[in-house]
Amino acid sequence: MKLKEKVAIVTGAASGMGKSIAILFAQEGANVVVSDLNLEGANETVGEIEANGGSAMAILTNVTKEDDIQNLIDTTAATYGTVDILVNNAGIMDNMAAVADVTDESWCKVLEVNATSVMRATRKVLPIFFAKSGGVIINIASVGGFHGSIAGAAYTASKHAVIGLTKNTGFQYAKEGIRCNAIAPGAVKTNINITMTNINQKGAAICTSGMSTVPRIGEPEEIARTALFLASDDSSFVNGTVLTVDGGWTAY
């Protein structure tokens, strides 16, 4: 088992990539904290893990609330004694609007969920990592963090921010024994599209114009296997980088 007795937090783990990561980490021996705004879904993930002999607990978390993030890390440490791995997976889409049509409300919400929460969770867990000179952070970015119009302005900016934060964190704390990497998924089968409301039709037409070049749609489990690599000692010399997992889409 690659994560035996490790303690891992996975945000947004009630469904999609987060759920697959949580389940795989548990199969590899980790005690997994399933964090999500959807507590019912988080409990279902825990149920699947426990049914297969794994160890997990669910914590209701709204990642836009500082108090919820504080509670997430504190409760995990109090329950399991420490935190070894933090996976910042929670995220939402925007409505495909370009700058001319972006509202302050939409901009702030997307940046808060997709980027600010990553900073806050990382900031909160670092003292635990400092104390034991080690820890792993995995941020779920997107190929939209490399390109300009796979999504709208807010989502694109948020994922560029996640990539920049990943690189900064990885280098800043490398000598502390802490690794921080990101995964940039391409098109993957998840339910993130349910977070899209009031879709901007003009923006959507432009953003989806390149979808015909997608070689295939990925499975959440394929992202989970990449996360396992980054969480384990197999990637001990991988730090401050972004692994693109998109079936070759961005190679076009």
So which residues are the catalytic ones? 155
CB-CB contact of 3 with 28 (8 Å) = yes
Sheet holding 135-140, edge to edge: 55-60, 31-36, 7-11, 85-88, 135-140, 178-185, 242-245
Contact of 235 with 181, CB cutoff 8 Å: yes
d(CA 122, CA 144): 22
What secondary structure letter does DSSP report for 112?
A: I
Beta bridge partners of 111: none
Q: Which residues contact 168 (CB under 8 A, 6 or more apart)?
A: none
* Alpha-carbon distance values, 37 to 74, 159, 166 (Å): 17, 20, 24
Query: Which residue in 204, 121, 133, 212 sits closest to 173, CA to CA?
Result: 133
* Cross-strand partners of 33: 9, 57
